[in-house]
Structure 1
Amino acid sequence: MLLIIYFIVINVIAFMVMGIDKRKARKHKWRIPESRIWLIAIIGGAIGATFGMNFFRHKTKHRSFRFFLPVLAVIDTGLLIWLKFFVS
């Protein structure tokens, strides 16, 4: 149960980070480093980051984001399913 809560929270954070960074980009303000966005995605927030990327149309011109975020989201989903059904 705790694992599911973690995945929900980290993905909401990832979604919000994409929205915040997009807003800052429009206002020409200090931005969230891409390395931080990747870190959040790698620690479980790839699904939220992918939805945020598409919802806010942010980072969609970056090939690395456009390709690797969805791949990482699939890996996260598979890992979550594996942990939920095969480990617990």
Structure 2
Amino acid sequence: MNLNRFCYLFLALAAVGSLFSLHPFVMWCLLLNALTLIIYGIDKLAAVKSWQRVPEITLLFFGLIGGWVGAILGQQIFRHKTQKQPFKTYFIITVIVNLAISIGAMYWVYQYGIGVQW
């Protein structure tokens, strides 16, 4: 099984694991960002050792779905993906899209009361 499949397997486990907490959204964010940080570390190790790498699309996807804080930490801690210009541009776009969707969802919930128990 390649490294990319492990990333998505752990993503699925994080999603299922977060459902069993008192605050599933908060737990999802924590697990996703921790997983993203670990994946950046593993990818940096793979780059140094010339092993199979995590595809950039996977790194970008994890940032898009909310793991961008862990990705930024991983980039700074491991000095990984900080100089590659196309990746940096795509990464910033994924952060902006994630923030826009998150703000839009919060606005929708508070404006229309969807999912809010009164």
User: What TM-score does the superposition give when structure 1 sets the normalisation length?
Assistant: 0.77
Deviation, structure 1 residue 62: 1.4
1:51 alignment partner, SS class: helix
Structure 2 match to 1:63: 85
Q: What is the Cα deviation at residue 70 of structure 1?
A: 5.5
The answer as to 2:40 corresponding to 1:18 is yes
Which residue of the partner structure matches residue 75 of structure 2? Answer: 53
Q: Residue 35 of structure 1 aligns with which residue? A: 57
Q: If you compute each CA radius of gyration, which structure gives the higher value, 1 or 2?
A: 2
| Structural RMSD (CA) | 2.3
- Scaled by the length of structure 2, the TM-score of the pair is 0.60
Q: Which amino acid aligns with 1:19?
A: G
Q: Equivalents in 2 of 1:77, 1:65: separation in Å?
A: 18
Count how many residue pairs are aligned between Structure 1 and Structure 2: 86
CA distance in 2, matches of 1:65, 1:52: 14
Unaligned runs of 5+ in 1: none
C-alpha distance in 2 between matches for 1:35 and 1:68 = 10
Structure 2: state its 5+ residue gaps: 1-22
Structure number with the higher helix fraction is: 1
